[in-house]
Structure 1
């Protein structure tokens, strides 16, 4: 049997506190969290015998201040190694290959309403541009469109902008990222040209969300909602708006720390902690039928 990795909660907490202080996107909150971790350590709250339990306790404390879902101490059953990144990339490539490039369902519903499912994630744009362009071009002829993000766990912000570009008529400011490193900002805009046909910015558009919709998928729903371009139907999303980086603090533990934050040009804020609030709230399982009915009613009103 392999020799267990030595486990010292104190050294893990010291390193997590240091990383949070140096990298977390909100410096004042970072200082407060570092003090909280050290206080809890002194109180004996982290006197546990295994890394998984420590990860659970520390994550709860890290998220206790502002409910940042990307801020966590993650436990890995297998030791974290350089090969882990390659294995994760290979897993994403398998998901890409088995989901038609992230667009596993394109369907024409009654009344000229198209359904486009984007899942299980918004893959890197250099992979996904071709299959997404094909799918978005196919649905561009529909009278109304439903974009299903209920099973989408996030992905590439550039892919968010690519999809939005097909659903708008002109170049539009979608989002601004603020990065703590260098205190710099980075704007995201829809593209003035797309490789295929546009659905455009005037026909009825509905976006389905669920309790598992996360991160970049939330941005897609939020951007379109804030622009007044889409009606969001379904459940409140998970609420992860802050891009993260990971640092190994123990062979089985990774500190996940947001290093940036999204700022929407319309709302001036984002969906962190609150999730994207649907315009038409219903159970995720009922969202497709609800959106289809709304689309048909909207089309009937336009005739």
Structure 2
């Protein structure tokens, strides 16, 4: 059976980490194909399944990605499921998870086209945030993500917020100092079950995700990750839950990644085998 592993034009043969998945799929009698998601004239009907992996440019052309989903979902079985991909593409999902009592990094969503432009200084003062992070609600890879001190809120910060809002919705969050002191922890799930965890060094301003180092799961963080996953709209084939230490010392959700997260197979070699098993099970349905 032919399986499409979706990537983007800058990594037409898949990002390096996803190469770990190829041999396990072949060992199970599946034939994986790296396919650029928005390549023209792909015959999607030839594939039993399509699994999103390295589509690392979807957020710079979100409208095209939405149109592509609508076209492809009627031609091939897609994972993660299209409804979940749509939900996760806009980081407003963080507010939905917070409303579901998942501890989330405090987040203010600012809407593009609002009749009254958001004031970054007023927003930060109201919440007592000294340093804030401003980023697009549809983003990845640190694109347009910037940190501003209190002295910068009214001018440089406001200019950046308005520039982001010219493009789309924006998120404003307090800067968590723990990210620079401890890094961010990522909990990887395969077919809804915990697989492995890594810790990653600070990524502010980085153009690519740094390598992760194996981490023994922390009980409170793992419980948070499970709560976030259970609050997602549908079951996941794969997911990565990123957590950090909040201002009060408790773990908080940074992101729930279910579109194209790097899964750090190299940090846990058996994880690629587990994902291959889950893909095979779906292909046999």
- TM-score, normalised on structure 1? 0.27
Q: Which has the larger radius of gyration?
A: 1
